Amino acid sequence: MTAQLPAWAAFVVALLVVAGALLAFIGSLGLLQMKTFYERVHPPTMGTTLGTGLVLIGSMIFFTVLEARPVLHEILIGAFMTLNTPVTYMLLVRAALHRDRAEGSDPLEKPTQSPPGR
Amino acid sequence: MSSALIAAQVLVALAMACALYRLLRGPRAQDRVLALDTLYVNAMLLTLIFGIRYATTLYFEAALVIGMLGFVSTAALAKFLLRGEVIE
Protein backbone atom coordinates (compact mmCIF):
# COMPACT_ATOMS: atom_id res chain seq x y z
CA MET A 1 0.00 0.00 0.00
CA THR A 2 2.70 2.47 0.97
CA ALA A 3 5.22 3.18 -1.78
CA GLN A 4 8.82 2.05 -1.42
CA LEU A 5 11.19 4.76 -0.24
CA PRO A 6 14.81 4.75 0.90
CA ALA A 7 15.03 4.07 4.60
CA TRP A 8 16.25 7.53 5.56
CA ALA A 9 13.45 9.23 3.64
CA ALA A 10 10.83 6.94 5.17
CA PHE A 11 12.20 7.66 8.63
CA VAL A 12 12.24 11.42 8.12
CA VAL A 13 8.75 11.51 6.59
CA ALA A 14 7.31 9.32 9.35
CA LEU A 15 8.92 11.46 12.04
CA LEU A 16 7.68 14.73 10.54
CA VAL A 17 4.13 13.47 9.96
CA VAL A 18 3.80 11.96 13.43
CA ALA A 19 5.19 15.14 15.03
CA GLY A 20 2.72 17.25 13.08
CA ALA A 21 -0.20 15.01 13.97
CA LEU A 22 0.87 15.05 17.62
CA LEU A 23 0.94 18.85 17.60
CA ALA A 24 -2.52 18.97 16.06
CA PHE A 25 -3.78 16.55 18.71
CA ILE A 26 -2.25 18.56 21.57
CA GLY A 27 -3.78 21.70 20.11
CA SER A 28 -7.24 20.19 19.95
CA LEU A 29 -6.84 18.77 23.44
CA GLY A 30 -6.03 22.27 24.64
CA LEU A 31 -9.13 23.52 22.88
CA LEU A 32 -11.06 20.99 24.92
CA GLN A 33 -9.36 21.70 28.25
CA MET A 34 -9.07 25.49 28.50
CA LYS A 35 -11.57 27.40 30.58
CA THR A 36 -12.43 30.66 28.82
CA PHE A 37 -12.84 31.50 25.16
CA TYR A 38 -9.82 33.82 25.09
CA GLU A 39 -7.62 31.02 26.38
CA ARG A 40 -9.18 28.60 23.95
CA VAL A 41 -8.06 30.63 20.95
CA HIS A 42 -4.41 29.85 21.65
CA PRO A 43 -4.03 26.04 21.49
CA PRO A 44 -5.43 25.32 17.99
CA THR A 45 -2.82 27.64 16.45
CA MET A 46 -0.22 25.01 17.34
CA GLY A 47 -1.91 22.62 14.96
CA THR A 48 -2.59 25.20 12.30
CA THR A 49 0.95 26.59 12.11
CA LEU A 50 3.60 24.12 13.21
CA GLY A 51 1.51 20.97 12.84
CA THR A 52 0.44 21.81 9.31
CA GLY A 53 3.96 22.96 8.49
CA LEU A 54 5.56 19.71 9.62
CA VAL A 55 3.04 17.54 7.75
CA LEU A 56 3.52 19.67 4.63
CA ILE A 57 7.32 19.39 4.82
CA GLY A 58 6.95 15.63 5.27
CA SER A 59 4.66 15.46 2.25
CA MET A 60 7.11 17.53 0.18
CA ILE A 61 10.04 15.26 1.09
CA PHE A 62 7.92 12.16 0.37
CA PHE A 63 6.82 13.18 -3.11
CA THR A 64 10.21 14.69 -3.99
CA VAL A 65 12.00 11.44 -3.17
CA LEU A 66 9.25 9.28 -4.67
CA GLU A 67 9.08 11.02 -8.03
CA ALA A 68 12.80 11.97 -8.12
CA ARG A 69 11.96 15.57 -8.97
CA PRO A 70 11.20 18.59 -6.83
CA VAL A 71 7.51 18.57 -5.83
CA LEU A 72 6.86 21.81 -4.03
CA HIS A 73 3.16 22.52 -4.53
CA GLU A 74 2.50 21.96 -0.82
CA ILE A 75 3.97 25.43 -0.34
CA LEU A 76 0.60 26.69 -1.59
CA ILE A 77 -1.21 25.27 1.42
CA GLY A 78 1.57 26.47 3.71
CA ALA A 79 1.42 30.05 2.47
CA PHE A 80 -2.36 29.94 2.53
CA MET A 81 -2.55 28.76 6.13
CA THR A 82 0.14 31.22 7.24
CA LEU A 83 -1.78 34.10 5.73
CA ASN A 84 -5.27 33.06 6.75
CA THR A 85 -5.00 31.75 10.30
CA PRO A 86 -4.18 35.15 11.87
CA VAL A 87 -6.86 36.87 9.81
CA THR A 88 -9.62 34.47 10.80
CA TYR A 89 -8.65 34.34 14.46
CA MET A 90 -8.41 38.13 14.66
CA LEU A 91 -11.88 38.43 13.14
CA LEU A 92 -13.20 35.80 15.51
CA VAL A 93 -11.70 37.34 18.64
CA ARG A 94 -12.95 40.76 17.57
CA ALA A 95 -16.44 39.30 17.17
CA ALA A 96 -16.20 37.61 20.58
CA LEU A 97 -15.03 40.86 22.17
CA HIS A 98 -17.90 42.70 20.55
CA ARG A 99 -20.38 40.14 21.87
CA ASP A 100 -18.91 40.26 25.36
CA ARG A 101 -19.06 44.04 25.41
CA ALA A 102 -22.62 44.00 24.16
CA GLU A 103 -23.47 41.83 27.14
CA GLY A 104 -21.75 44.25 29.51
CA SER A 105 -18.73 42.13 30.47
CA ASP A 106 -15.54 43.55 29.01
CA PRO A 107 -12.66 41.10 29.48
CA LEU A 108 -10.06 43.80 28.74
CA GLU A 109 -11.39 46.20 31.33
CA LYS A 110 -9.33 46.51 34.47
CA PRO A 111 -11.03 48.28 37.35
CA THR A 112 -7.96 50.05 38.77
CA GLN A 113 -6.00 51.31 35.75
CA SER A 114 -8.33 51.99 32.86
CA PRO A 115 -6.79 54.58 30.53
CA PRO A 116 -9.13 57.52 29.90
CA GLY A 117 -8.89 57.38 26.13
CA ARG A 118 -10.55 54.00 25.72
CA MET B 1 6.48 3.96 7.88
CA SER B 2 3.04 2.55 7.19
CA SER B 3 2.34 2.03 10.88
CA ALA B 4 3.67 5.52 11.66
CA LEU B 5 1.27 7.01 9.14
CA ILE B 6 -1.62 5.05 10.65
CA ALA B 7 -0.60 6.29 14.11
CA ALA B 8 -0.55 9.86 12.80
CA GLN B 9 -4.01 9.37 11.34
CA VAL B 10 -5.30 8.05 14.65
CA LEU B 11 -3.83 11.10 16.40
CA VAL B 12 -5.47 13.48 13.96
CA ALA B 13 -8.76 11.60 14.29
CA LEU B 14 -8.56 11.99 18.09
CA ALA B 15 -7.89 15.69 17.56
CA MET B 16 -10.99 15.86 15.37
CA ALA B 17 -12.98 14.11 18.10
CA CYS B 18 -11.83 16.72 20.63
CA ALA B 19 -12.79 19.55 18.29
CA LEU B 20 -16.13 17.89 17.58
CA TYR B 21 -16.85 17.58 21.30
CA ARG B 22 -16.10 21.27 21.74
CA LEU B 23 -18.26 22.04 18.71
CA LEU B 24 -21.23 20.19 20.19
CA ARG B 25 -20.77 21.36 23.76
CA GLY B 26 -19.14 24.81 23.41
CA PRO B 27 -20.95 27.20 25.73
CA ARG B 28 -21.18 30.06 23.25
CA ALA B 29 -21.29 30.60 19.52
CA GLN B 30 -17.68 31.78 19.20
CA ASP B 31 -16.47 28.55 20.83
CA ARG B 32 -18.38 26.59 18.22
CA VAL B 33 -16.91 28.63 15.37
CA LEU B 34 -13.40 28.13 16.74
CA ALA B 35 -14.03 24.38 17.07
CA LEU B 36 -15.31 24.27 13.48
CA ASP B 37 -12.13 25.98 12.28
CA THR B 38 -9.99 23.49 14.19
CA LEU B 39 -12.06 20.66 12.73
CA TYR B 40 -11.40 21.97 9.23
CA VAL B 41 -7.65 22.18 9.81
CA ASN B 42 -7.57 18.68 11.25
CA ALA B 43 -9.56 17.34 8.32
CA MET B 44 -7.05 18.98 5.98
CA LEU B 45 -4.17 17.30 7.81
CA LEU B 46 -5.97 13.95 7.64
CA THR B 47 -6.43 14.34 3.89
CA LEU B 48 -2.74 15.18 3.46
CA ILE B 49 -1.71 12.11 5.43
CA PHE B 50 -4.04 10.01 3.26
CA GLY B 51 -2.19 11.39 0.25
CA ILE B 52 1.17 10.34 1.68
CA ARG B 53 -0.19 6.93 2.65
CA TYR B 54 -1.58 6.07 -0.79
CA ALA B 55 1.32 7.85 -2.60
CA THR B 56 -0.91 9.96 -4.83
CA THR B 57 -1.05 13.72 -5.27
CA LEU B 58 -4.80 13.62 -5.86
CA TYR B 59 -5.46 14.25 -2.18
CA PHE B 60 -3.46 17.48 -2.33
CA GLU B 61 -6.20 19.31 -4.25
CA ALA B 62 -8.79 18.07 -1.78
CA ALA B 63 -6.68 19.39 1.10
CA LEU B 64 -6.30 22.75 -0.63
CA VAL B 65 -10.03 23.04 -1.18
CA ILE B 66 -10.76 22.06 2.43
CA GLY B 67 -8.33 24.72 3.66
CA MET B 68 -9.89 27.41 1.47
CA LEU B 69 -13.45 26.51 2.44
CA GLY B 70 -12.42 26.48 6.09
CA PHE B 71 -11.02 29.98 5.80
CA VAL B 72 -14.08 31.31 3.98
CA SER B 73 -16.58 29.71 6.34
CA THR B 74 -14.76 30.83 9.48
CA ALA B 75 -14.41 34.39 8.18
CA ALA B 76 -18.10 34.47 7.21
CA LEU B 77 -19.19 33.10 10.59
CA ALA B 78 -17.01 35.60 12.44
CA LYS B 79 -18.49 38.39 10.34
CA PHE B 80 -21.93 37.09 11.18
CA LEU B 81 -21.15 37.08 14.90
CA LEU B 82 -19.79 40.61 14.62
CA ARG B 83 -22.57 42.22 12.61
CA GLY B 84 -25.54 39.89 12.53
CA GLU B 85 -25.35 39.54 8.76
CA VAL B 86 -22.69 38.31 6.35
CA ILE B 87 -23.10 40.60 3.36
CA GLU B 88 -24.19 44.12 4.07
Chain A residues with beta carbon closer than 8 angstroms to that of B18:
25, 28-29, 31-32
Domain that includes residue A46, residue range? 7-102
Say whether pLDDT at B12 is over 90: yes
A62-71 CB contacts, 8 Å cutoff, 24+ apart: A62/A5, A62/A9, A62/A13, A62/B52, A62/B55, A63/B57, A65/A5, A65/A6, A65/A9, A66/A3, A66/A5, A66/B55, A71/B57
**What are the tens digits of pLDDT across the range B30-42?**
899 999 999 999 9
Name which of B7, B53, B63 is nearest A77 (Cβ-Cβ): B63
**What are the tens digits of pLDDT across the range A17-53?**
999 999 999 999 998 888 888 888 889 888 888 999 9
ipTM associated with this complex: 0.86
Q: What predicted TM-score, i.e. pTM, was given to this entire model?
A: 0.86
When comparing pLDDT for B2 and A20, which is higher? A20
Q: How high does pLDDT run on average in chain A?
A: 84
Instruction: Classify residue A23: in a domain, yes or no.
Output: yes
Q: How confident is the model at residue B57 (pLDDT cuts 50, 70, 90)?
A: confident
Instruction: Classify residue A116: in a domain, yes or no.
Output: no
Instruction: Classify residue A115: in a domain, yes or no.
Output: no
Are B45 and A24 inside 8 Å of each other by CB? yes
Name which of A2, A13, A25 is nearest B15 (Cβ-Cβ): A25
Instruction: Classify residue A20: in a domain, yes or no.
Output: yes
Q: How confident is the model at residue A7 (pLDDT cuts 50, 70, 90)?
A: confident
Report CA torsion sign: A46, A78, B42, B47. negative
Pick the CATH number of B2-83 from 1.10.1760, 1.10.287, 1.10.3470, 1.10.155: 1.10.287
pLDDT of residue A111: 56
What total of structural domains would you count in chain A? 1
**What are the tens digits of pLDDT across the range B67-88?**
999 899 998 988 888 887 766 6
When comparing pLDDT for B15 and B82, which is higher? B15
Say whether pLDDT at A1 is over 60: no
Are B21 and A88 inside 8 Å of each other by CB? no
Are B71 and A84 inside 8 Å of each other by CB? yes
Instruction: Classify residue A98: in a domain, yes or no.
Output: yes
Domain definitions of chain B by residue range: 2-83
**What are the tens digits of pLDDT across the range A69-117?**
888 888 988 898 888 889 999 988 888 888 888 887 777 766 555 555 5
B22-29 CB contacts, 8 Å cutoff, 24+ apart: B22/A31, B22/A32, B22/A40, B28/A37, B28/A96, B28/A99, B29/A99, B29/B81
pLDDT of residue B37: 92
pLDDT of residue A24: 92
Name which of A2, A27, A74 is nearest B2 (Cβ-Cβ): A2
